[in-house]
Amino acid sequence: MTEETPGFEEKPDVPSGATPDDAEPKAASPEGAVPGGDAAQIAGLTAQLDQTRKALEERTGDLQRLQAEFQNYRRRVERDRITVKEIAIANLLTELLPVLDDIGRARDHGELVGGFKSVAESLETVAAKMGLQQFGKEGEPFDPTIHEALMHSYAPDVTETTCVAILQPGYRFGERTIRPARVAVAEPQPGAQTVKAEEATEAADDKESGGPDEG
């Protein structure tokens, strides 16, 4: 048996060159802990990021509004351009109407011959390509929005106010009426409607009763 020397305690072996502090385990720092300086820096960066994001959203909204206003401006300019063009063409065609009337009268009198006929037909073709349309026919119902009545009469063979003669044709450009058709109109003969109504009633009664009595 070995004798222990009183007053001395056994200590664990320590590697050579190591200090006593190295031999003792260090206390682990709490997981996820961030030093105070780093936390303040992260908070500042987060605030800057939020401000940048807000500024970006505002600039994006401004850009979208400017783009919408520009598109509306382009549409207005295009619409105004088309309107001005249509007005200019309508004014030009209006100035040509007396010439077209002369051509029509010459055609009615058989005077549209030779070189004059070729020039007249070319002018009518060009006017039609520009969108000029002629309207007004005998026998069509009178419409005060497109007809101008210059003569008035009564006729027993009409059931409503009817254009019986076209004194001057009307012209339209697109949906715009450049000149109404100047016409002579005829209204039903006074009392003719009553007679026709009575005749229709008698015919209906005869049909229901099997026809007129025989012998």
What's the domain range around 58?
Answer: 46-130
Task: For residues 148 and 114, state if they share a domain.
Answer: no
pLDDT at 202: 64
Q: How many domains does the chain have?
A: 2
Which is more confident, 82 or 210?
A: 82
Instruction: Write down which residue in 130, 147, 164 finishes a domain.
Output: 130
pLDDT at 46: 87
Task: For residues 171 and 193, state if they share a domain.
Answer: yes
How many angstroms separate the CA atoms of 101 and 169, rounded? Answer: 8
Task: For residues 120 and 147, state if they share a domain.
Answer: no
Q: 203: pLDDT confidence band, cut at 50, 70 and 90?
A: low
Instruction: Write down which residue in 71, 96, 130 finishes a domain.
Output: 130
Q: Would you give the end-to-end CA distance of the chain in angstroms?
A: 171
pLDDT at 30: 47
Of the listed ranges 68-77, 92-101, 149-158, 201-210, the least confidently predicted one is: 201-210
How many angstroms separate the CA atoms of 192 and 199, rounded? Answer: 11
Q: Is residue 8 pLDDT above 60, yes or no?
A: no
Instruction: Write down which residue in 130, 156, 179 finishes a domain.
Output: 130
Tell me the residue type at 185. Answer: V
Tell me the residue type at 211. Answer: G
pLDDT above 90 as % of the chain: 53
How many angstroms separate the CA atoms of 204 and 186, rounded? Answer: 29
Residue 93 near residue 130 (C-beta atoms within 8 A): yes
Q: Is the pTM of this model over 0.85?
A: no
Cβ atoms within 10 Å, residue 163: 22
Looking up tokens 């025989």 gives 214
Q: φ, ψ for residue 29 (rounded to 5)?
A: -75, 150
What is the average pLDDT across 33-60? 82
Structural Rg of the chain based on CA atoms: 51
Q: Is residue 1 pLDDT above 50, yes or no?
A: no
Q: What is the CATH number of the domain that holds 193?
A: 2.30.22.10
Cβ atoms within 10 Å, residue 185: 20
Identify the CA nearest to 188 among candidates 152, 140, 148, 155.
155
Read off the pLDDT of residues 93-144 as tens digits, 9 standing for 90 and up: 999 999 999 999 999 999 988 889 999 999 999 999 999 999 999 999 999 9
pLDDT above 70 as % of the chain: 71
Of the listed ranges 8-17, 84-93, 133-142, 159-168, the least confidently predicted one is: 8-17
H or E stretch including 74? helix 36-108
142 in any annotated domain: yes
Task: For residues 103 and 163, state if they share a domain.
Answer: no
H or E stretch including 130? none
pLDDT at 47: 85
Task: For residues 142 and 107, state if they share a domain.
Answer: no
Instruction: Please state the separation of Cα 88 from the chain's center in Å.
Output: 23
149 in any annotated domain: yes
How many angstroms separate the CA atoms of 215 and 208, rounded? Answer: 19
Which is more confident, 214 or 202?
A: 202
pLDDT at 204: 62
